[in-house]
Structure 1
Amino acid sequence: MQRVIRNFSIDNPTEFKQKLFDWSKQYETVVWLDSNNYQQKYSSFDCMLAVEEFTSIKTDYFNAFEKLKEYQSLTKDYIFGYISYDVKNDVEALESNNPDSLHFPDLFFFQPQKLITIKDKNVVFSYLNLIDDELEEDFEEITQANPTIINYEIRKPKDNHSLKIKLRIHKNQYRQKVTEILDHIHKGDIYEANFCQEFYVENVNIDSYEMYKHLNAISEPPFATFLRKEDLYLLSASPERYIKKENNKIISQPIKGTAKRFVNKVDDDKIAFDLSRDDKERSENIMIVDLIRNDLSKTAKKGSVNVEELCNVYTFKQVHQMISTVTSTVDDSTHPVDIIKKTFPMGSMTGAPKVSALKIIEELEESKRGLYSGTVGYFTPDGNFDFNVIIRSILYNKSNQYLSFSVGSAITSKSIPEKEYEECLLKAKAMKHVLTN
């Protein structure tokens, strides 16, 4: 079935984007991807919305990548969705036995009936199964709507004092677990492990759309995502790209290294500079770069793996981050799903060596990661793709009124448990803020 495509010109992209997001509330299957106009390499669009399933696939981790490969090959269209962290069990002989209160399926993708993309002042509507003048009518409906605009920076706090955020791992227990990871490192079992902890709220009702708007407004990351699958929601302010395919070029951009922002510009510039020179943060990043070089080499043309940038510091509204860019070239015959499978789960959320780190993580963490530290993204009809890393995110199951957000840090031989705990609290700051204000 062919897509019907229409191009429209708009005067105010920011306002149209707000109207478009509000319009998406009527659909039970939604993927919203927003670059927030962040000036980054390899950006394809400003904003993209996919809604309403034409076809879909939902599965647990068992043979998940083969099922996705078959679905993507048969569809040969745009498909949007996610791969949860626990699909690692399809790649290696691993298990996920920690408690799960969110109950997201391990893998979900759908072929959207309606796909809308914004780039500068151009909007492209791409519809399947078109009914009469539905496309033009939708554009008019979106254009004529009144957007709900709230200044989240200055609005008064809501009455959320009764909302109690609980910790799955308390500070003393966290210190003990990081010490255990350091023991593994000193014995030579691993070099680095990304250790995560969950914060959660029970018996909670939230407006997921408004909460996402707030989270996005105070963060403005380049890989922001809102995902809805019926009563399951992801509200993500992710700054990190996992992996992208542009024709034969593969791009991975791991983040390792975090520093807080300061209001005073002199102090802010200094801490960003200090981050760029920090031996511990650089060693974290370089270890993961080496891991990703190895992962990409599994599908790359010989000699094509290249580190385009190493340990560059980027500034976001909440934090400074150290980012590297690793690229490779693949043959035309290489299936796009195989490229993802050979690199999954992403190195920045695991450790090195990867399999050993994954086993230690599973033993010490107290909750199943699920979609956290998994990935959301899309495939194009010609086999290109782009996927983020699900961090700085709120996960919500509306049916059982359970809300969760997790944070982590990379533990290396130079780690100090107290400082790692402080880094986790820094990363949790934006999610805590939107939940309590």
Structure 2
Amino acid sequence: MNSQELISFKQKALQWANQFEICCCFDSNEYTDPYSKYDFLLAAGARRQLNVNTGQAFKSLQEFQQANSDWMFGLMSYDLKNEIETLSSTHVDHLDFPDLFFFIPENLIIIRNGNIEVLRGEAGLLETIHALSPHQPAPNSMLNMEYKIDKATYLNKVNELREHISRGDIYEVNFCQEFFAENASIDPFGVYLNLNELSPTPFAGYFKINDNYILSASPERFLCKRGNQLISQPIKGTAKRSNDQKEDELIKKELKNNLKEQAENVMIVDLVRNDLTKSAVPGTVRVDELFGIYSFPQVHQMISTVSCQANPVLHPAEIIKNTFPMGSMTGAPKVRAMELIEETECSKRGIYSGTFGYFDADGDFDFNVVIRSILYNKQKKYLSFQVGGAITYASSAESEYEECMLKASAIIKTLAN
């Protein structure tokens, strides 16, 4: 199959899966990545499922996995932080995603090395999918996108966080803001196809749990396990791309050498190294790549890679708990940063800056960071996305605001379609 035929198949396969109450897909969009095992994964229908609130969620996940040694797909909300540390979340939740949800699929299709494989499903499933007519998107309602905080408030809050940094409370914090629409009527599948076409990324995905949808163009890996190796790839550092090739190369070079962006990135790399030591064979944590520059349709990003050998006595659920939530979405020191996030942000994060991904039958796993993602509750007709950035003492509140608007641009463009 050529590239275009694969894209067409993936769209039809997800269209078929979307008839189930529970389904998800993960799409690498053909980005080459030494740690990815699969180009595309599609799971539809649930043989068994786990849906639990914060409290004993990681313990429940461990028990669920021990009872079911199988493929599992699922998500973890940012607010699971409250069972790891003495923290709380007090903002109103308009989306109602589960705190932790996993399912064992009835149907499972994978693509690797350009080959489509049906691991689970009825005979003739591929023929059924190929025979589908292309999806005709239903028109979205006119969305009245609102900001949870206005620009002046945003600037004030960033400066307030910079004061905490100058006092030595924290070194860096990830501060986010929400865009939302009420009475939103959208075609989630059609919007996801638009988003993935406009902004194809290596950790993109679609996740449907009844009336809850994640439509994700995530560029970031939270954590993956390959054999006995753990890999985390935090993103810190963003620059807008140019249509002019020479200028674009210059922007890329400037990002690579930007001392402020390097300082932000290395603080989070140190935090990730510290998190990984809790799950590592002593002495094996290493930085494989520092300040790597990777290009996506709208932006260049600075991405570092940290790895270690996993302590074999630890269960995968414990390994994830030891690193959760991801440092790139919190700050350093982690606990104090999360306290200030709760104090200064005006929205509940929920699944935003949480993660979704899979455990495979070999015991490996791969989880993204839920950013650049549209979240939708079909029953409540509430649509939301959040964007954020790292605040350090060197941050300019105005520049941080502009970076947020840049990150929001692909999503706003998608919804305008």
* TM-score using structure 1 length: 0.93
State whether residues 205 and 215 of structure 2, in contact with CA within 8 Å, keep that contact through their aligned partners in structure 1. Answer: yes
Matching residue within 10, 21, 31 for 1:28: 21
Aligned equivalents of 1:435 and 1:99: distance in 2?
Answer: 24
Matching residue within 270, 275, 282 for 2:262: 282
Matching residue within 347, 364, 369 for 1:389: 369
State whether residues 32 and 50 of structure 1, in contact with CA within 8 Å, keep that contact through their aligned partners in structure 2. Answer: yes
Deviation of the 1:146 alpha carbon: 3.1
1:122 and 2:115 matched: yes
Deviation of the 1:10 alpha carbon: 11
State whether residues 224 and 366 of structure 2, in contact with CA within 8 Å, keep that contact through their aligned partners in structure 1. Answer: yes
1:257 and 2:237 matched: yes
Deviation of the 1:331 alpha carbon: 2.9
State whether residues 192 and 216 of structure 2, in contact with CA within 8 Å, keep that contact through their aligned partners in structure 1. Answer: yes
Aligned equivalents of 2:139 and 2:401: distance in 1?
Answer: 28
Task: Report the residue type matching 1:188 in the other structure.
Answer: G
The equivalent of 1:82 in structure 2 is: 75
The equivalent of 1:142 in structure 2 is: 129
State whether residues 205 and 401 of structure 1, in contact with CA within 8 Å, keep that contact through their aligned partners in structure 2. Answer: yes
The equivalent of 1:350 in structure 2 is: 330
State whether residues 9 and 123 of structure 1, in contact with CA within 8 Å, keep that contact through their aligned partners in structure 2. Answer: no
Q: Which runs of 5+ in 2 are unaligned?
A: none
Matching residue within 55, 79, 83 for 1:62: 55
The equivalent of 1:247 in structure 2 is: 227
Matching residue within 176, 180, 183 for 1:196: 176
Question: How do 1:37-436 residues align onto structure 2 when only pairs under 5 Å count?
Answer: 37-127=30-120, 135-148=122-135, 162-436=142-416
CA RMSD of aligned residues (A): 1.8
Aligned residues: 417
Percent identity, aligned pairs only? Answer: 50
Per-residue CA deviation, residues 178-206 of structure 1 (Å, 9 max, x unaligned), is 11100100000000000000000000100
Task: Report the residue type matching 2:17 in the other structure.
Answer: S
Aligned equivalents of 2:289 and 2:314: distance in 1?
Answer: 25
State whether residues 140 and 187 of structure 2, in contact with CA within 8 Å, keep that contact through their aligned partners in structure 1. Answer: no
Aligned equivalents of 1:146 and 1:49: distance in 2?
Answer: 19
Q: Which runs of 5+ in 1 are unaligned?
A: 1-7, 128-133, 151-157
Aligned equivalents of 1:410 and 1:207: distance in 2?
Answer: 32
Per-residue CA deviation, residues 241-269 of structure 1 (Å, 9 max, x unaligned), is 00000010000000000001110001111
Aligned equivalents of 2:343 and 2:26: distance in 1?
Answer: 34
Task: Report the residue type matching 1:393 in the other structure.
Answer: S
* TM-score using structure 2 length: 0.97
Per-residue CA deviation, residues 152-174 of structure 1 (Å, 9 max, x unaligned), is xxxxxx98794211000110000
Task: Report the residue type matching 1:111 in the other structure.
Answer: I
Provide the secondary structure at the position in 2 that maps to 1:399: coil
Deviation of the 1:318 alpha carbon: 1.1
State whether residues 140 and 185 of structure 2, in contact with CA within 8 Å, keep that contact through their aligned partners in structure 1. Answer: no
Per-residue CA deviation, residues 217-243 of structure 1 (Å, 9 max, x unaligned), is 011100001000000000000000000
State whether residues 76 and 382 of structure 1, in contact with CA within 8 Å, keep that contact through their aligned partners in structure 2. Answer: no
Deviation of the 1:100 alpha carbon: 1.2
Deviation of the 1:136 alpha carbon: 1.7
